[in-house]
Amino acid sequence: MKLAAQLRWASGEAFTERVMNLKAYGFEAVELWGNEVRDNQEEIKAATEKAGLPVSTICSGIRGCLLHNDKKERDSAISDMKMLLKIAGDLGAVGLITVPIFRKPFLPDVSPLYDTITLEKELLVLILKELAPAAEEAGSLILVEPINRYETHFVRTLAQAKEIAERVGHPSVQIMADFFHMNIEETDPAESIRQAGSYIRHVHLADSTRLQPGTGTIDFKRGFAALKEIGYKNYMALECKIEGDPAVAFPKTVEFLQQCIEEA
């Protein structure tokens, strides 16, 4: 398992300085926000190559919504995903992280044909089947992210995300596990990781405080032990605000996480 961090939380003014700082703090890759990469691919390539820090993943940055009731909004999201998947492939990233929908639903309840959740599932599976060949061509993955009940009504557990990936049935559609969201939604995060198994292709790290690991109550060792059991060897990216001086807090967090990995 390799440690990465989102660039948006790194210290520094210029893009290259921030990437170099992450490298100096001990991270092995950088995760980029989708909005950061649209028009900055050459700068990103130059900075990451100079630092010797690969791009792990691209997170979000998609306009529109895959499950909107307005087709223009759905088309906008699909178009952005295709573009960002290509960029992810060009940058050598594992994949593009996507949350199917935030907050409340846009689609109606059309019972007895479908209730809203079932209708959303059917639509999402069809859309991901459409997007999967674009991901495959780009050499990247679509990473479906479950998030907590306070941020979405839909796809909140690893099992629900796995169900979507299984129904799509394409190797370019996989899932992501986020320790912060799992801490809220999963009865037993470690067991949920075991059940999701090889579908997990990326991991986000934040403590119960939504600050850096080590500031809250999450048992990272137990979660990492489960990841080891399923043979997980990919990136785990810090996705959280940093409390304290970044020059001190980041290296301390890397040390804490490395110790958890070793002891798991």
The pLDDT value recorded for residue 121 is 97
CA dist 56 and 30 (Å) reads 6
CATH code, domain with 171? 3.20.20.150
| Residues identified as active-site | 145, 239
Residue that has been written with the tokens 């660039």 in this structure: 7
The pLDDT value recorded for residue 15 is 84
Q: What is the pLDDT of residues 213-225, one digit of tens each?
A: 999 999 999 999 9
Record the pTM. 0.94
Cis before 146 (ω within 30): no
pLDDT band at 232 (very low <50, low <70, confident <90, very high): very high
The pLDDT value recorded for residue 78 is 97
- Burial class of residue 5 (count of CB atoms within 10 Å of its CB; 0-12, 13-18, 19+): buried
Q: What is the pLDDT of residues 154-180, one digit of tens each?
A: 999 999 999 999 999 999 999 999 999
- Full domain range(s) for residue 73: 2-263
CA dist 242 and 228 (Å) reads 26
Residue 229 in 3-state DSSP? helix
